[in-house]
Amino acid sequence: MKDPRGTATRRDMSIVLCGQAGQGVQTVETLLTRILKTAGYHVHATKEYMSRVRGGANSTTIRVSGKRVSALVDRMDVLVPLNAGAVAHVAERLTPQTVVVGEREVVADEAIESNRTLAVPFTEIATEIGGKIYSNVVAVGAIAGLLGLDPDAVVAYVRRYFAKKSEDIVANNVKAVRAGYDAIGKLDMPAGLRLSFKPSAKVKDELLLSGAEAVGLGAIAGGCNFVSSYPMSPSTGVLTFLAQHGLEQGVLAEQAEDEIAAINMAIGASYAGARALVTTSGGGFALMTEGVSLAGMLECPVVIHLAQRPGPATGLPTRTEQADLELALYAGHGEFPRILFAPGTLEQAFDLTQKAFNLADKYQVPAFVLTDEYLMDSYYNVKGFDLSRTKTERHIVKTAKDYRRYELTKNGISPRGIPGYGSGLVAVDSDEHDEEGHITEDLDVRVAMVDKRLAKGEALRKDIVRPELIGPKDYKKLVICWGSTYHVVKEALAELGRTDTAMLHYSQVYPLHPSTADLIGKARKTVVVEGNATGQFRKLIRLHAGVDADEGLIKYDGLGFTVEDVVEGLTAIDKG
């Protein structure tokens, strides 16, 4: 499945940047995606990187197209290696069609022999301009030249990007990007590299952002005004984003001493009327599980953003996986209701994070936003977020003198008061408690309180997000996925072009939408695509919908699914 289309009929171009940590791959990615997007091209970028600050090998895959692109591919049309080990790092993705652009010293022999190598002395050019530091911007210029972008627009963007730096630095960066552009122009280039698809003026007005930023914006839209967390890849981006915009957007962001403090702070903040978030990953979330149980018992709303990475224990800190579904589902001792969202797109990341705050507040339960490294670190352009839907639903009441925090009601939801608002007292207790919130060992009260908490789990079923069915309504085969694989599976199915196959994507994985059994029952064959080794969502469907999928397509090597992975996997399953 390597390069199935050939270069002549290219709908999109895939450019891979590869270098050591600390070498500035990120700068090239940021500049290039922004230049392409502001030029009116659709872009998608995602990276895989090592858990180290210097050295190793990291790569970013950037796709550029005249049509929307939102998924990772294996295909590598252009490779830009930035150090000697780079070509070897991505060797499996190298094909005879791959054009390699880089310094002669870092391009491996086989790539040179393929006769599709463009040697550009990035460092030499940079040194002439003012220092090695400019070599990344020389590379940006070279790639821009390769793609045939308007040089003046490229220079204008570089000027804007570095605007806050000194005049010298701006001037040198402009020289660097021009020099890279000119250097590539002097070479004998293979055909088909210049972008043949038309840019669109509409794309210029679109947003270009990452999953981490979409979750952060969704939190603000959801009324989040308190976040306490402990840094841990890949969840840190959300904390950083909220900290950077906190004062202006009214969010108190605090780095806690550990994850235990983080969630206990969030629950305390929520008790006092804040809309509280924690953002965490793997082992950090494991430390929070007692707190999750506390939120369940106190009936304090809290939103937990859990960005998954491969475990167990420290696992692969900077890689991706969808293996903490069961952890999130069962985290915390005792029985209490919860909500689990798993956004698949940037729009869903925004909408569902916002919704998580509203529903956590409405039902006084912990609400999860389950993402992963792939979604956190994926950038692409989207039309925008619908702010007209941004309504912060609040469910706080002014207390009366005889207020009882855990008043027994039909649907289990007790009106939620907060201290200092009204004339009542608000008492919450992690022990089993009576309606006033005081410790009790009255076993009848115990039963009433368990029933009350679980009744909320029934009530919140009214708000379950429907899974999205894409493809023919009279499908014979159904490909089920959840969370971050949305666009990858969607593009794979489009590529396979089967008229009998539909895709069913779950952005809420618990509770499961009641249509699940019917939707699966209609298919002759079902496959669940997910990024873990044991088929966790497939098991969840079996348990909660009472139906079993026929096959699972799983991946757990730490990398995200690519479009080719899904195409090949589904094809193999079909051949049985």
Partner 1 sequence: MMNAFEMGDIDVAWCPGCGNFPILKTLKETLAELEIDPKQLVMVSGIGQAAKIPHYLKCHFFNGLHGRALPPATAIKAVNPRLTVIAESGDGDMYGEGGNHFIHCIRRNPDITNIVHDNMVYGLTKGQASPTSRRGFKTPVQVAGVILEPFNPLAVAIALDASFVARASAGDREQTKEILKRAIRHKGYALVDIFQPCVTFNKLNTYQWFKDHVYYLDDSHDPSDRTAAFARATETDRLPLGVFYVNPKDSFEENTQMYRRDERPLHQREVDAKKLASLIDTFTMAG
Cβ atoms of 361 and 269 within 8 Å: the answer is: no
Structure tokens of 388? 């007209």
CB of 252 to partner 1, least distance (A): 5
Pick the closer one to partner 1 by CB: 39 or 369.
39
Pick the closer one to partner 1 by CB: 38 or 515.
38
CB of 479 to partner 1, least distance (A): 31
Pick the closer one to partner 1 by CB: 147 or 427.
427
Q: CB atoms < 10 A from the CB of 193, how many?
A: 22
Structure tokens of 49? 């990187």
Pick the closer one to partner 1 by CB: 26 or 97.
26
CB of 526 to partner 1, least distance (A): 37
Rama region for 120: left / alpha / beta (φ>0; ψ in -120 to 50; rest): beta
CB of 445 to partner 1, least distance (A): 14
Pick the closer one to partner 1 by CB: 9 or 388.
388
Cβ atoms of 211 and 371 within 8 Å: the answer is: yes
Pick the closer one to partner 1 by CB: 363 or 403.
403
Q: Give Cβ neighbours of residue 58 (< 8 Å, ≥ 6 apart).
A: 18, 19, 20, 21, 25, 47, 48, 49, 50
**Which letter does DSSP use for residue 252 in this model?**
E
CB of 27 to partner 1, least distance (A): 15
Residue 113, CA distances (Å) to 91, 100, 110, 118, 401 in order? 14, 11, 5, 12, 84
Residue 437, CA distances (Å) to 297, 373, 408 in order? 11, 40, 12
What residues line the site for partner 1 (CB under 8 A)? Answer: 34, 37-38, 157, 160-161, 163, 204-209, 213, 217, 220-221, 223, 225-226, 228, 245, 247-250, 252, 254, 256-258, 260-262, 264-269, 271-274, 276, 290-291, 294, 298, 384-385, 387, 390, 392, 396, 418-421, 423, 425-431, 437-439
Per-residue burial over 423-457, b if 16 or more Cβ lie within 10 Å, else e, is ebebbbbeebbbbbbeebeeeebeeebeebbebbb
CB of 226 to partner 1, least distance (A): 6
Q: CB atoms < 10 A from the CB of 119, how many?
A: 15
- Nearest-5° angle of CA 435, CA 335, CA 255? 90
Pick the closer one to partner 1 by CB: 27 or 127.
27
In 358-415, DSSP assigns E strands to 366-372, 379-382
CB of 202 to partner 1, least distance (A): 11
Q: How far apart are CA 33 and CA 43, in angstroms?
A: 6
Cβ atoms of 327 and 321 within 8 Å: the answer is: no
Pick the closer one to partner 1 by CB: 389 or 466.
389
The gap between the terminal CA atoms of the chain, to the nearest Å, is: 18
Pick the closer one to partner 1 by CB: 442 or 518.
442
Pick the closer one to partner 1 by CB: 136 or 264.
264
CB of 448 to partner 1, least distance (A): 19
Residue 43: enclosing H or E segment and its boundaries? strand 42-48
CB of 17 to partner 1, least distance (A): 18
Pick the closer one to partner 1 by CB: 146 or 302.
302
**Which letter does DSSP use for residue 136 in this model?**
H
Closest Cα to residue 522, out of 539, 495, 538, 504? 504
CB of 261 to partner 1, least distance (A): 4
CB of 415 to partner 1, least distance (A): 15
Q: Per DSSP, what are the bridge partners of residue 43?
A: 64
Pick the closer one to partner 1 by CB: 213 or 377.
213
CB of 385 to partner 1, least distance (A): 6
Pick the closer one to partner 1 by CB: 209 or 541.
209
CB of 58 to partner 1, least distance (A): 23
Q: How far apart are CA 362 and CA 366, in angstroms?
A: 11
Give me the DSSP letters along 348-361. HHHHHHHHHHHHHH
Residue 65: enclosing H or E segment and its boundaries? strand 55-65
